[in-house]
Amino acid sequence: MTILYTVYMTYPETDQIQQLVSAAQHIVIMQADNPDADSLGSALALEHILGDMGKKTWLYCAVDMPGYLHYMPGWDRVTKELPSTVDLSIIVDASTITLFEKFEQSDNRGWVTSKPCIVLDHHQGVSNLIRFATVMINDATKSSAGEVIYSLARDCSWDISLPAQECILTAILGDTQGLSNNLARPATYRIVADMIDAGIDRPKLEDTRREFSKMPPEIFRYKADLIARTELSAGGRLATVTIPYQEIKEYSPLYNPAPLIQGDMLQTRGVRATVVFKVYQDGRITGAIRCNPGGAIGVELAEHFGGGGHPYASGFKVVDGRPFNELKSECIRFATELLDTLQT
């Protein structure tokens, strides 16, 4: 019988990262202004790993954790306040400064950016890189930032406790849509198998997520409204819906509208790509892009508007004041061109 062992590639940045972590005692772990299961799972995993090394950690995100992520133990340790004492910052699941708008306005920003910074990401096609980063790993061959952290920890011979592995598995499942999209490569499955062998109970994780993902009645009715407002374009291959500011203000504290509706949009027969637009009071416009296999246009579409991500999950933010209807039309036009290119 042949026994297969998972092989982990060594990152060229490993030695430098080990030196930075070894020299630091107070470490802030940072998520961007758009937290998701991968960013939160990655941050919590690092909290466990570094805490087991005797480091003092601080979990930071400039916005509140969305309610649908509250199934992860430790979500409530994430704070919107930056610490006053920092030796090192580690940014997870983001490598573009445009995703840190609120951090850029923070009083303690200068204190944090004056210290070494490690960026751990997996998104391809990134622009506006974080200029104060000391060292960056942006490994687009990995399914998620969680998988990057698992591989880096193995490189560094850091202990990955079962609680840390549980957070990493949650991160991987988040970005791979439960291992259902093409971001989950053979190495991803081997890592998941290693964690299950170590004692992680994946069915329990899924049951917990589903329990916390249950909708309040008002969200259930709101979801029906979003479905009714969803528009199909590009011959039914592109689904879009728009969230105005008043709905962002009213419903986001209960459930983020994008993940509320986007899974159903992707389950619609013929749909290859989806965009959820959010229009803010100050003129900002964001687009959350999610794609099915056969419609992996996420990176190109996001980059067209100055954003980034990976083929199946990406996003953009536009702050140049252009009218929303103009941007929406441009997005539908370009998405249609990209989908047509995939069919040729």
**Which pLDDT score is estimated for 308?**
82
Give the span between the Cα atoms of 282 and 275, in whole angstroms: 21
CA distances 182 to 47, 129, 142, 241, 270, Å, are: 28, 26, 11, 25, 18
Q: pLDDT tens digits for 291-306? A: 998 899 998 999 999 8
* 177 and 266 belong to one structural domain: no
Q: How confident is the model at residue 54 (pLDDT cuts 50, 70, 90)?
A: very high
pTM of the full predicted structure?
Answer: 0.80
Two structure tokens written together for 128: 């506006």
Q: Which residues contact 180 (CB under 8 A, 6 or more apart)?
A: none
Instruction: Name the domain boundary from 209, 240, 262.
Output: 209
Look at residue 69 and tell me whether its pLDDT is greater than 80: yes
227 in any annotated domain? yes
- Same-domain pairing of 114 and 136: yes
- Among 178, 209, 240, give the residue marking a domain's end: 209
Same domain? For 163 and 248 the reply is: no
Of the listed ranges 1-15, 55-69, 223-237, the one predicted with least confidence: 1-15
Q: Are residues 146 and 273 in the same domain?
A: no
Q: Is the pLDDT of residue 343 over 80?
A: no
Q: Are strands 117-121 and 56-60 parallel, antiparallel or unpaired?
A: unpaired
> Is 187 contained in some domain?
yes
φ/ψ (deg, to 5) at 173: -65, -30
Query: How buried is residue 151: exposed, middle or buried, by Cβ count under 10 Å (0-12/13-18/19+)?
Result: buried
Q: Is 33 helix (H, G, I), strand (E, B) or coil?
A: coil
Higher pLDDT, residue 139 or 3: 139
Task: Report the SS3 class of residue 91.
Answer: strand
Whether 246 has a pLDDT exceeding 70, the answer reads yes
Tokens of 12: 């060229």
Burial of 241 (0-12, 13-18, 19+ CB in 10 A): buried
- Rounded CA separation 260/239 (Å): 14
Are 258 and 182 found together in one domain? no
Give a yes or no: residue 111 inside a domain. yes
Buried b (16+ CB within 10 A) or exposed e, 300-335: bbbbbbebbbbbbbbbbbbeeeeeeeebbeebbeeb
Tokens of residue 30, six digits: 């940072």
Query: Long-range contacts: 270-273, Cβ < 8 Å, 24+?
Result: 270/235, 270/236, 270/237, 271/232, 271/236, 271/237, 271/238, 271/239, 271/295, 272/237, 272/238, 272/297, 272/339, 272/342, 273/237, 273/238, 273/239, 273/297, 273/298, 273/301, 273/335, 273/339
Residue type at position 129 = L
Do residues 200 and 61 both lie within one domain? yes
pLDDT of residue 108: 78
Whether 159 shows a pLDDT value over 50: the answer reads yes
28 confidence band (pLDDT: 50, 70, 90): very high
**257: domain range?**
217-343
| Token pair listed for 189 | 């499955």
Q: Within this chain, do residues 228 and 157 fall inside the same structural domain, yes or no?
A: no
Q: Which amino acid is at 63?
A: V
Number of CB atoms found within 10 A of residue 197's CB = 8
For residue 165, tell me if it sits in a domain.
yes
Judged by average pLDDT, the poorest of 22-31, 100-109, 331-340 is 100-109
> What does the pLDDT look like over 193-218, one tens digit per residue?
999 999 999 998 888 888 877 888 99
Domains: count for the chain = 2
State whether residue 121 is helix, strand or coil: strand
Of 146, 177, 209, which marks where a domain is finished? 209
Q: How far apart are CA 237 and CA 259, in angstroms?
A: 19
With cut-offs at 50, 70 and 90, classify the pLDDT of residue 127.
low
